[in-house]
Structure 1
Amino acid sequence: MLSVVCIGETMAMLTPTHQVPLAEATELFYGVGGAESNVAMGLAAMDIDAHWVGRVGRDGFGTRILNDLSAHGVGVTGVEIDDELATGLYVKVPAPAGSGTGESSVLYYRKGSAGSAMGPHMLENPDVAALLERASLIHLSGITAALSQDCRDLLAGLLALPRKGRLVSFDVNWREALWTHEDKGILRTLANQADVVLVGADEAIPAFGTNDEAQLRAMLPDPEVIVLKNADISAIALMRDGARVEVPSLSVSVLEPVGAGDAFAAGYFSGMLFGLDQRSSLRRGHVSAAATLTVPGDRGPLPDPGVLARILACSEQDWAATHVAPGRLDSPALAAAGSAAAAQPAGGLP
């Protein structure tokens, strides 16, 4: 069975209910969130042996994180529990009424957290070493590099491991608030040591100073592929050998944008692990992201294997005419299977 290890910090998450301002909230929704663990949960839903490695405090937040990940089929045997440092916390603040942006902001309470104390010592943990040894993919994130020097050293150690047939992926995941007083050049150094780099066109500018394809490829010459994500426009695979594959984003009736980037990563990685070509892997990422965009949570229901296979193999014209809405996927590629298939809500990826 294919195995993936995702490494990073997962935190407790609070947000006001009913989209009211934080100062006026009388109720807060309580959940968990972390880019790397979101990817792990997405991959676990695709029947991949997914594990999350990180650190939590010996507190209720940490217990909630472990319970939630386990409930989603993610292995947590490599997680360290800290008796002194607390689990990190973030608060998602709804956009002010009338702001016109519709974008929420985030308040982080993660300085000195258990997660920020991740470091190279974790590689000496027998449970972690065993997970890494049998992994097909090790997934990392630029978020971790911003947390502490020990965290950076952990990433450097992971990227220096002999590949032994494994892939190492690096999602830039730019977080402005975490890098305000940090040396952003570390991202370039770390990303260039990965096999697969994911970066959004919007975040590439503050992270690397450019989102020009040729400049990015020259700046990061060593990865086998750089995936440049242009939100609702397209995703582009820039190969080390100079090849370029672009797949337009699907038409989506967006309900909630949270989690789409991590869902895309899980879909794309699963395609690579299953041996699909770049075009099919990018399409798989788009389908996964589209399904998440149509639900209020971080992960959306996904098409069953038969529907997904037809979508991945469809013509460019049928792909362009495909639309995803809450509980519904409409595409000319499904017409041969009848309207029931064309309107079928998701089941699960293979």
Structure 2
Amino acid sequence: MNAPDVVDVVSLGESMVTFLPTRPGRLADVPSFDRAIGGAESNVACVLAAAGHSARWVSRVGADGFGDHLVETIGSYGVDVSGVRRDALRPTGVYFRTAGERGTSAHEVAYYRMGSAASAMTVGNVEVGAGRVLHLSGITAALSDGCLELMRSLTARYEGRPLVSFDVNHRAGLWRDADGAEVLLELARGADVVFVGEDEAEEAWGVVGGPEAVRELLPEPAVLVVKQGGEGATAFVAQAQAAGSRAAGAARVGAGGTPPARVSETPPTATPTSRTFEPAPTFEPAPTVDIVSTTGAGDAFAAGFLSGILRGLPVNTSLRTGHLWAAATLTAPGDLAAPPSRAHADRLVALDEHTWETLRLGPGWTQAAQAPEEVRTP
């Protein structure tokens, strides 16, 4: 079956084979590991495809068994993997991690990705293809100078480019020098839709003062989503004057307008976006979640919000969709979990404010066939 010419989302970035310990403890003490996959951008593509959107993952992997596993596993979610290239000279990246959650003193991660096939991505050897949305992550920029040049090319503003989504994904340990935070800020300013955690913005850029302070630092994106952990998320949506620009399309979609159209092949030209005014930001609290694992939840949130954009949903509904898709991952082990069915999610996002705020979700909730009121627990 031929791949579609234009997909809903093209997601570009490195994925690695992940080895998860079979029992808790230090990496030095764990005797065996189970194999899985990990990658922020491929996670987004897999969750979107599982929810019925068309998604393409673009990357490079080694001509090895681990590369086979990545391509086959990601493709099994319904993701188009025709944009993945094999590198006969470089290996597929792998990493090992402990059973503990990130952000704890006991958590260990051992990466074996230096010189990987994906780190050799460049402007000259990557073909993105056509998509309504191009999703990127700050992780890619840290992999090599060639990857950074590629990211700068993809976030450069020009007429006819796709809607560019950028998840900051600040990983201090990946950067070879102290310039990582500035690079991430530069790339975020070139994107149309940006996702960043409030704590992440403080760590990377020293921003304090809440979501409004993050918006002051990042006025350029048409849509800025500031994630506030278990509290919820705040979205800022600009009113763009340039009706034909991708930023204007993002602003219309965030307000419940028409989804972005097919990307055209227009040569790069500078088209800075101007805004007349910006309405008050939209905050949506997150439901209470009985957490099993936090890994991959941010990717699922981004996928859910992008699903809202693709469907032309209002910004508050897109935020709630992001929360629900994140909750699906939070209540399951591993980096990936199938999101709720569209009908199930749509029933939940339509709940009144009080019922939404008292919603509690636990393991297995995505499979529940009950009405929304029955999913809720005191």
Alignment TM-score, normalising by the size of structure 1:
0.88
The residue aligned with 1:113 is: 116
The residue aligned with 2:220 is: 222
The residue aligned with 1:346 is: none
SS of 2:17's equivalent in the other structure is strand
The residue aligned with 1:347 is: none
| In structure 2, C-alpha distance between the alignment counterparts of 1:73 and 1:91, rounded to whole Å | 26
1:71 to 67, 73, 76: 76
Note the alpha carbon deviations across 1:137-179, whole angstroms, 9 max, x for none: 0000000111111101101111226453731000001112112
Structure richer in helix, relative to its length: 1
Query: Partner letter of residue 39 of structure 2?
Result: G
SS of 2:190's equivalent in the other structure is coil
1:205 to 192, 198, 202: 202
SS of 2:229's equivalent in the other structure is coil
| In structure 2, C-alpha distance between the alignment counterparts of 1:271 and 1:248, rounded to whole Å | 17
**After superposition, where does 1:1-350 map in structure 2 within 5 Å?**
3-95=8-100, 101=104, 104-123=107-126, 125=127, 128=128, 131-132=129-130, 135-160=131-156, 162=158, 164=160, 166-179=162-175, 181-184=177-180, 185-212=182-209, 213-240=211-238, 241-328=278-365, 334-335=372-373, 339=374, 342=375
| In structure 1, C-alpha distance between the alignment counterparts of 2:61 and 2:98, rounded to whole Å | 23
Note the alpha carbon deviations across 1:287-333, whole angstroms, 9 max, x for none: 00111111112233433333322211111101011111111379x97
Query: Partner letter of residue 52 of structure 1?
Result: W
Question: In percent, how many aligned pairs have the same letter?
Answer: 42
Q: CA deviation at 1:218?
A: 2.4
Q: CA deviation at 1:216?
A: 2.0
| In structure 1, C-alpha distance between the alignment counterparts of 2:8 and 2:339, rounded to whole Å | 20
User: Is the CA contact (8 Å cut-off) linking 1:192 and 1:220 kept in structure 2?
Assistant: yes
Q: CA deviation at 1:280?
A: 0.2
Query: Partner letter of residue 71 of structure 2?
Result: L
| In structure 2, C-alpha distance between the alignment counterparts of 1:148 and 1:36, rounded to whole Å | 17
Q: CA deviation at 1:193?
A: 0.4
Query: Partner letter of residue 237 of structure 1?
Result: A
The residue aligned with 2:271 is: none
Q: Which moved more, 1:77-86 or 1:23-32?
A: 23-32
Q: CA RMSD in A?
A: 2.4
Note the alpha carbon deviations across 1:176-229, whole angstroms, 9 max, x for none: 211252412111111100001100111111222214333322222210011110
> Which ranges of structure 1 fall in alignment gaps of 5 or more residues?
344-350
The residue aligned with 1:348 is: none
| In structure 2, C-alpha distance between the alignment counterparts of 1:217 and 1:100, rounded to whole Å | 25
| In structure 1, C-alpha distance between the alignment counterparts of 2:104 and 2:64, rounded to whole Å | 36
SS of 1:24's equivalent in the other structure is coil
**Cα gap change, 1:54 to 1:301, in 2 (>3 Å):** closer
Higher relative contact order (CA 8 A, sep 6+): 2
